[in-house]
Amino acid sequence: MGGLTGDPAFAATTFVVIDFEATTPTGYPAQPIEVAALALRYESGAWTTSGRPFSSLIRPPAFAPVTPAVTAQTGLTAEQVNRAPHPAEVLSALDRRFAAGKQYLLVAQHAATEANLIHHQREHCPALARVDLLDTIPLARYLYPGLPNYRLDTLLTHYSIKHPANRHRAYADVEVTAEVFIRLVHAADENAGFSDLAALVKIAGRTAKCNMPAQGELFGPTPVGQRGHSEPI
């Protein structure tokens, strides 16, 4: 492979692919109803998973019920999520997966959505909320400027990745986003513009809101890697 995956900083980073499903109540921020995460490492020329995948339904607050539109998209019903754990329980459990002294980047398709959901839940997941992000959309746009759009379904078709039957469920979307990310890294590795992790971050990096100055915008170029605490992912 090329310079990107040969960069020690790239090898030292755990890439955590993350996806939320959410309900969007009028007058309130989006509220998570499901989350999934899958940690990847690039070691000895191959991708491996790091730790166990994480997936859980999340009970939304009363002001953010699951609507028929959400059920039509995700298949999740109000009865299912109303039996789920509260956000504090789920997100604190995910937060404990981020170990002190390790370098992480979150990976998401349209990372603004995940970044905002995490930021609004930051009291439950302070370590997660300080991990910066990579967005697959600007990376794909840079590498494949001729595609009609950069939606996940379009990228799956471009790479001939099978669309999952339960598309728009968090873990199914995490699995296929991880496949897309691996393909994008392979393409970037063959592109002279991606000499190291810093170059990847320059194109696709997004700064977690908790890492920005108080008056900063939500997104900007991200520094490489952030640290968390407790059990490793």
d(CA 175, CA 198): 25
In Å, how far are 29, 179, 204 from 137, measured between CA atoms?
A: 23, 14, 8
pLDDT of residue 170: 98
pLDDT of residue 213: 86
pLDDT of residue 189: 96
Point out the residues of the chain with pLDDT beneath 70: 1-2, 215-233
Burial class (CB in 10 A: 0-12, 13-18, 19+), 149: exposed
Q: Where are the domains of the chain?
A: 3-211
pLDDT of residue 215: 54
pLDDT tens per residue across span 135-183: 999 999 999 999 999 999 999 999 999 999 999 999 999 999 999 999 9
Q: SS3 string of 12-80? A: CEEEEEEEEEEECCCCCCCEEEEEEEEEEEEECCEEEECCCCEEEECCCCCCCCCCHHHHHHHCCCHHH
pLDDT of residue 216: 46
pLDDT of residue 1: 53
Superfamily of domain 3-211: Ribonuclease H-like superfamily/Ribonuclease H (3.30.420.10)
